[in-house]
Amino acid sequence: MFFKRLKASGLGQNSYMLGCGQGIAMVIDPRRDVEEYLELAQNNGLSIAYILETHRQEDFEFGSRALAEVTGAQIVTGRHELFGQSDIKLGNGQELKAGTTRLVAFETPGHTRESMTYAVYPKGTGKKCWGIFTGDTLFVSATGRTDLSDPAKTRENAGILYDSILEKIAPLGDQALIFPAHGAGSACGGNISDRDDSTLGIEKETNLVFKTSRDEFMDHKVAEKLPRPPYFSHMEKVNLQGGRALPEGIGTGGRMLQPHEFQERMSTGVVIDCRPPEAFAGAHIPESYNVWLQGLPAFAGWLADESTAIFLVVDEPAHIHEAVTSLARIGLDRVEGVLGGGIEAWRDQGLALAMSGTISAQECAERMKKNEVRVLDVRDDNEREEKRIPGSLHTYVGDLEKKIPHLPKEDNLVVHCSVGHRAGLAASILKRNGFTHVFNLLGGIKAWEALNLPLDQPDQRDEPDNGNKN
């Protein structure tokens, strides 16, 4: 039996290809760039006959329609209206026979109203479920967030999710493999394990949903504070129609612009510099954002929307395709130019450069004792709840542009995250907003811990004034 998990870099998104016997295959939750599915099917002599959607995804643009147009495959969903267009709509408990494989569909709302789970019974397994495509209902060591459809109904949705998992998924057997739509790093759930593989039996021993009461689980989900990127709303709209095909030629990244032309055109949109934060700190184009290459799918959607013209700075030409594809996966298609020759060519033309600072954990601690720096934590609320640098301020990096710290802009401001990547983005935002002495704490909280520098634990502190305007 053929089976393959395909992971989208930076999104924590999983899609799957399953061989169903008799040369037939199905793809589960495909992303917009469909070439990999087509190549995988061709190399293994398979015909893609079905495309399964577990729910209307929020964090990436579906490739269902594009893949169906190329392959003639039928799109399979649940019956809920939020699935939009599909060829086969399955109700709770209904079956689909594909080749020699049997699938059983279950309605498992909670993460979203339309969420579906599909249990897989390949030939020879009898009544034993082999695997379960759980979408965002059940992750490895976690469950889907329940605030997306309506934050006011987070607790109510958590109860619905609990019931879905305990009543629909739990009876499928401890032997069943778990195949969720997302892994570690996804914005669709908190504390997802970085381990890809699990079984229902392992989850029953380790996952909170199986180890708490319904009320305790609902309390946990209410306390789970996860950021919601603004582009999620756009993804919901386009995915109602099965997503959109990639624009022709998008993989080329638009025109390669020489420095002076890049300078002339960049004012019509935003400049995103995809180099590592250390390189960005050393020299960058004034007013540019710093989003490291692998961070584009998760963070570019906080800086631009589908109508924004984007101009890219990359470390090397080989990174262009990954950058453009990553942006397209979240519906950002308007990459209108890449800086030809990179920052070195810009420098050699004598064009303006800006810099930001870097600082080590040890130096930061020493300067804090002398009241020479203020520290701004840009991690999310859940991370900060676990541990924090004493006296630090807090604004999540995605909210930073709207919640600029109400501090003197000439102060020395040290920004930190877990290791330094999100802090690089935060430093670029602060520089754009007039802060003149901004430092990225390289190594972030990880380096701070490695040196055994002081940390506040959840029960040891009062929340300091975060210094925000709003």
Structural domains present in the chain: 3-239 (3.60.15.10), 250-348 (3.40.250.10), 357-450 (3.40.250.10)
| Residue-by-residue pLDDT tens, the chain, 470 positions | 899 999 997 889 999 999 999 999 999 999 999 999 999 999 999 999 999 999 988 889 999 999 999 999 999 999 999 998 899 999 999 999 999 999 999 999 999 999 999 999 999 999 999 999 999 999 999 999 999 989 999 999 999 999 999 999 999 999 999 999 999 989 899 889 999 999 999 999 999 999 999 999 999 999 998 999 999 988 888 888 788 888 876 655 568 999 999 999 999 999 999 999 999 999 999 999 999 999 999 999 999 999 999 999 999 999 999 999 999 999 999 999 999 999 999 999 999 999 999 999 999 999 999 999 999 999 999 899 999 999 999 999 999 999 999 999 999 999 999 999 999 999 999 999 999 999 999 999 999 999 999 999 765 544 444 444 43
* CB neighbour burial string for 404-422, b if at least 16 within 10 angstroms, e if fewer: bbeeeeeebbbbbbeebbb
Residue 244 has a pLDDT of 85
What is the model's pLDDT at position 65? 93
Q: Is the Cα dihedral 204, 208, 211, 217 positive or negative?
A: negative
Q: What pLDDT score was predicted for residue 85?
A: 83
Task: Name residue, tokens 């929020």.
Answer: 58
pLDDT for res 465? 44
What is the Rg, in whole angstroms, of the alpha carbon atoms belonging to the chain? 24
pTM: 0.90
Q: Which helix (H) or strand (E) holds 344?
A: helix 342-348
Closest CA to 464 of 368, 335, 398, 333: 368
**DSSP strand pairing (13-21 vs 3-8):** antiparallel
In what order do the strands lie in the sheet containing 310-313? 256-257, 335-339, 310-313, 270-273, 289-290
Q: What is the DSSP letter of 378?
A: -
Interstrand relation of 131-135 and 177-180 (parallel, antiparallel or unpaired)? parallel
